[in-house]
Chains A and B, each alone.
Chain A
Amino acid sequence: MSRVEMMKVRSGHNVDEATRAAFASGRGGPALGLLVHSLTEMRGISDLAAEAVAGAALECENSTELSPHALDLVFAAIERGPQPTTKRSLRYSELSGLPAALVDAIATAERGRGWKAATRGVTQLQLNLPGRARAEIIRIEAGTTVPRHSHKGQEVSLCLVGGYSDGRGAYGPGDVSIADPSSLSDLARRLC
């Protein structure tokens, strides 16, 4: 493996049941939403207990009738087949196989501020997403050791390509690590 790319989402908020809810419901803001979306697409995993609550709630939901021709329209859309999509070329080709929404966010960020060198062997790309949480892609060359560091707030990392390890474990594509293990071991276990 020549390198690793990670997506990090940082937030000043505590990560607790409120964040589990944000994961499950998809209303954690654009940055966390994109991470959750990428995670579920890459691994097909998520917080099952929280989603089961939501699935049960959907069964209890009221019925709002669709238009009389809705089913016909759906069958017509099915027969038309998927619409062609815009392919985007990214600076690092290995990133183009990621979930489409993430590729799109990366392409947008590359056209903006672009990749910046951080420390030796490490570059980062800030994703331009609204909301209080910040999302970035970190690219680390093979064999690079990142010095022990700390940061404010909570941090959720999703390994996209390659692999890395820290004091707590080894991570491959689709693995998540969360910066504050004391409050989050349960969530981390469910997600990884």
Chain B
Amino acid sequence: MRLAGEVLVEEDRARFADFLVAVATTRDRAAFSELFAYYAPRVKSYLMRLGSDNAQAEEISQDVMVTVWRKASLFDRNQASVSTWIFRIARNRRIDVFRRTKKPDLDPDEEMLLPSGVDAPDAQVEAMETEARVRAAMKHLPREQLQLLQLSFYEGLSHSEIADKLDIPLGTVKSRIRMAFRKMKTDLDEE
């Protein structure tokens, strides 16, 4: 995984949000295909990184994209970026699949709601600003702190799993994550 490279610029994020809104409002297949081309291969990598084999990752990725289509009307561009919104779908879907392996009769898509605009307008603006600020603050983090945040929040590894993976002491993992948080918090408060 590349680390916090400026892979997407804000214009790209705005374009993806436009696509998702188009899916919601006009069932735009071309817009959906653009989202699919960008996100489906990344979701598949995410699932394989977390231990799915190729076949399972393929199936869940397709399910995630079906959910993106069906729940597009719940996307609120003031609440989250498309990336964060799709990450939540993939994460929740993965949780569902692992629960479903015991009970194959349950359709975990049922009533699956995703973050929608229920907050006051001020809170919505705040949510989107928080996300942009977090991304900006991430750029100022030293590479090793950023890597730890991603292993922790994205891959969901425990502190001791991270220590094993990177072959560094557990105390170093804890202190670097704490430092990263403190740095991000300072950046957020200064804005």
Most buried by B among A18, A22, A57: A57
CB distance from B171 to the nearest CB of A (A): 14
Q: Is the CB of A118 closer than 8 A to any CB of chain B?
A: no
Q: Which residue of B lies closest to A190 (CB)?
A: B130
Most buried by B among A27, A28, A61: A61
Q: Are A64 and B84 in contact (CB under 8 A)?
A: no
Please encode chain B, from 79 to 122, with 1 for each CB lying within 8 Å of some chain A CB and 0 for all others: 11101111110111011100100010111111111111010000
Q: Are B95 and A25 in contact (CB under 8 A)?
A: no
Q: Which residue of B lies closest to A54 (CB)?
A: B154
CB distance from A106 to the nearest CB of B (A): 13
CB distance from B24 to the nearest CB of A (A): 13
- Complex CA–CA separation, A55 to B2 (angstroms): 14
- Complex CA–CA separation, A57 to B178 (angstroms): 19
- Complex CA–CA separation, A44 to B115 (angstroms): 4
Q: Which of A24, A28, A100 contacts B111 (CB 8 A)?
A: A100
* Interface of chain B, main secondary structure: helix
Please encode chain B, from 1 to 21, with 1 for each CB lying within 8 Å of some chain A CB and 0 for all others: 111110110000000000000
Q: Is the CB of A170 closer than 8 A to any CB of chain B?
A: no
Q: Are B156 and A21 in contact (CB under 8 A)?
A: yes
- Complex CA–CA separation, A116 to B108 (angstroms): 28
With A49-B130, A65-B41 as known contacts, state yes or no: A56 contacts B135, CB within 8 Å.
yes
Tell me which residues across on chain B come within 8 A of A66, comparing CB atoms: 40-41, 44, 58, 61-62
Please encode chain A, from 95 to 121, with 1 for each CB lying within 8 Å of some chain B CB and 0 for all others: 000011100100010000000000000
Q: Are B94 and A63 in contact (CB under 8 A)?
A: no
With A22-B156, A45-B115 as known contacts, state yes or no: A60 contacts B178, CB within 8 Å.
no
- Complex CA–CA separation, A40 to B84 (angstroms): 13
- Complex CA–CA separation, A120 to B108 (angstroms): 36
Tell me which residues across on chain B come within 8 A of A22, comparing CB atoms: 156
Question: Chain B interface: which of A79-87, A147-155, A176-184?
Answer: A79-87
Q: Are B153 and A54 in contact (CB under 8 A)?
A: yes
CB distance from B88 to the nearest CB of A (A): 7
Tell me which residues across on chain A come within 8 A of B155, comparing CB atoms: 25, 27
Interfacial residues of chain A within 15-56, with CB under 8 A of chain B in the complex: 17-18, 20-22, 24-28, 30, 33-34, 37, 40-46, 48-56
With A44-B113, A62-B1, A64-B57 as known contacts, state yes or no: A57 contacts B153, CB within 8 Å.
yes
8 example contacts (A-B, Cβ-Cβ < 8 A) are as follows: A41-B112, A44-B113, A48-B80, A56-B4, A61-B42, A64-B41, A100-B112, A104-B106
What is B's interface to A at a CB cutoff of 8 Å?
Answer: 1-5, 7-8, 29, 33, 36, 39-46, 48-50, 57-58, 61-63, 65-66, 69-70, 74, 79-81, 83-88, 90-92, 94-96, 99, 103, 105-116, 118, 127, 130-131, 134-135, 138, 149-150, 152-159, 177-178, 181, 184, 188
